[in-house]
A = this chain, B = another copy of it.
Amino acid sequence: MLAQAPATTAQTAAVAKAYASPRHEELTKQFEELLSMPNVAADPEGLRKNADYLEAQLKALGAETKLLTAPGLEKYPRVVWGEVKSPGATRTIVFYAHYDGQPVTPSEWDGGKPFAPYLKTVDGEPRVYGRGAGDDKATIMAQLTALKAIRDAHVKLSANLRFIWEGEEENGSEHLEEILKANRELITGDIWLVCDGPVDQSRRQSLAFGARGDAHVQITVYGPSHPLHSGHYGNWAPNPALELVQLLAGMKDANGHVLIPHYYDGIQPLGPVELKALADAPKNDEMLRNELALGHTDGSPRHLLELLNEPSLNINGISAGQTGAHSTNAVPSTAIANLDIRLVVGSEGKLEQQRVVDYVKSQGFFVTSAEPTKAELLGHAKVARIELGGVEPAVRTPMDLPIASEVIAAVKSARGEVVLLPTMGGTVPLDAMERASGTRTITVPIANHDDNQHAANENLRMQNLWDGIETMAALMAMK
């Protein structure tokens, strides 16, 4: 029966569920095998093994495959590409995911081995721990499994499917756009489904119609040319840590609102469909506040989902001298802070970076982008070196485009009610994808929000994988 007419998205999700349900143990082992392959930027050979493995998996499922690169970029991790053609197809659905993971510090992990995945029960539910579990190998596992289920059941699909699995996402997707452009004919489609990030904290399936962009700023403040004895020189030698904290302190108010002039200028407001989606979305703030042991939240009483539609400014890290048991009685020589600016549509990264630079200048600092010379240090009361990182713009796909409605319907057919978000808080290189492919993006994550992504003990709640397999199957069956 299934072989005769294209299956509906709901039918296909049911096929995937029927395939996966009796195989949880076997699929968990396969997932652990995938997670046992080191996938960090510092280990290009490990990334190459991941790519080869994934290409072989796709090929075994009948896909045409390639490892994509571009002239001159051969030494960088390849994009795993696969295509499954459907006879008579008039549209192409592109599934994006990434197989690389954030850097690891093994000593911070329970057990000390980020690539020795293991099962653990949390709140009565099994999770698998390992780098990449939630971000973003779960999605690849879900796509492979959905495809296997569809193939085993001879489900007839209506669209061609393309898989684009990147290996440099956690390293800034530096070469993604160039690689995509060099392979343009292989990567276009009617919609790019960007399968990355966490679902809503209520554990309901969510769809995001954009992602915040980001831009980084590193500020180094200079004190004495070498660390000084804090007894012999303390309250005479200026302390760069103090100058830095006084500088940073003024950038935001006590409620987390950025005070840098014009920081919120130009934000493109949400339309009525997006505002309604926000109003309908679950408000998880209290649950999250409790889970994270937070006595208050920035921007309160406004909700997290609403606040994600504004640019942010965060101290990712600050350091000067030593702390804790390693602290010494010294006036540090330098103090460093790394700031992370999240962008929304209408807030330009370069402009926001410049506003930070202007703010630092307005606080009496001489600002240089290079290591300051002795003459510069001697000539100015306060000296800061500011290094500006790359910018990833924010992207938003209108929720009322026809293709958007179809994607929403497909996911609902598999999973019931879904949460629709105008934007994700995190950053995905949607802009590069859209520029290279000429295709709109919609983000369909499957991981649990509490997966410790970008940190030690990253994990995936296995139910999210089982649900994700159904979601992916439904999307593959879109007409």
Q: Which residues of A contact B (CB under 8 A)?
A: 102-103, 197-198, 211-212, 214, 216, 218, 222-239, 241-242, 244-246, 248-250, 252, 254, 256, 285, 289-299, 304, 307-308, 310-324, 326-332, 335-338, 340, 342, 364, 366, 374, 377-383, 424-427, 449, 452-455
Q: Is A218 touching B382 in the complex (CB atoms < 8 A)?
A: no
Chain B residues near A249 (CB, 8 Å)?
A: 242, 245-246, 248-250
In the complex the two chains form, what is the Cα distance from A337 to B332 in whole Å? 13
Once the chains are docked, how many angstroms separate the CA of A163 from the CA of B315? 52
CA distance A366 to B296 in the complex (A): 13
Question: What chain B residues lie within 8 Å of A379 (beta carbons)?
Answer: 295
With contact pairs A295-B378, A298-B236, A377-B293 given, residues A242 and B231 touching in the complex (Cβ less than 8 Å): no
What are 21 sample pairs from A and B whose C-beta atoms fall under 8 A apart? A197-B232, A218-B324, A224-B294, A225-B292, A227-B455, A234-B342, A235-B299, A235-B308, A236-B285, A236-B308, A245-B246, A245-B248, A248-B249, A249-B250, A290-B378, A295-B382, A296-B381, A316-B332, A317-B322, A318-B323, A318-B335
Given A234-B312, A332-B317, A342-B235: A454 touches B227 (CB 8 Å cut-off): yes
Contacts of A330 in B (CB 8 A): 316, 454-455
The answer to whether B312 and A316 touch across the interface, beta carbons within 8 angstroms, is no
Contact B449 A340, beta carbon cutoff 8 Å: no
Interchain CA distance A254-B316 in the complex, whole Å:
25
Residue in B236, B242, B342, B426 whose beta carbon sits within 8 Å of that of A252 in the complex: B242
Could you tell me if A337 and B319 are in contact, using CB atoms closer than 8 angstroms? no
**What are the 5 tightest A-B residue pairs by CB atom distance, in nearest-first order?**
A231-B426, A317-B321, A249-B249, A235-B312, A245-B245
Using CB atoms, name the residue of chain B closest to A341. B234
Given contacts A316-B321, A323-B318, A329-B316, contact A381 B295 (CB under 8 A): yes
Given A290-B378, A292-B228: A237 and B297 interface contact (C-beta under 8 Å): yes
Chain B residues positioned under 8 Å from A292 (CB to CB): 224-226, 228, 237
Residue of B nearest to A241 (CB): B315
- Please determine whether A238 and B319 come into contact, CB atoms closer than 8 angstroms: no
CB contacts (< 8 Å) of A323 on chain B: these are: 218, 316-319, 336-338
- Contact between A374 and B234, CB atoms less than 8 A apart: no
Quick check: B299 and A236 within 8 Å, CB to CB?
yes
- Cross-chain contact A234 with B340 (CB below 8 angstroms): yes
Contacts of A238 in B (CB 8 A): 256, 294, 296-298
Residue of A224, A242, A290, A425 most packed against chain B (CB within 10 A): A242
- Measured between beta carbons, the chain B residues less than 8 angstroms from A245 are 244-246, 248-249, 315, 318
| B248 touching A254, Cβ below 8 Å | no
Separation of A222 and B379 alpha carbons in the complex (Å): 38
Q: Apart from A229-B454, A231-B426, A241-B248, what 13 extra A-B contacts exist at CB < 8 Å? A: A214-B231, A222-B293, A225-B293, A227-B454, A229-B425, A230-B316, A236-B308, A241-B318, A245-B246, A246-B249, A254-B364, A295-B366, A319-B322
**A377: shortest Cβ distance to chain B, in Å?**
4
B314 touches A331 (CB 8 A): yes
Contact between B231 and A317 (Cβ–Cβ < 8 Å)? no
CA distance A239 to B317 in the complex (A): 10
Q: In the complex, which residues of chain B have a beta carbon less than 8 angstroms from the beta carbon of A222? A: 293
Q: How far is the CA of A337 from the CA of B318 in the complex (A)?
A: 10
A320 to B338, CA, bound (A): 10
With a cutoff of 8 Å between Cβ atoms, the chain B residues found around residue A425 in the complex are 229, 231-234
Instruction: Out of B236, B250, B314, name the residue touching A239 (CB < 8 Å).
Output: B314
Q: What residues on B are CB-neighbors of A289 within 8 Å?
A: 378
- Report the nearest B residue to A336, measured CB to CB: B323
**Contact B314–A234 (Cβ < 8 Å):** yes
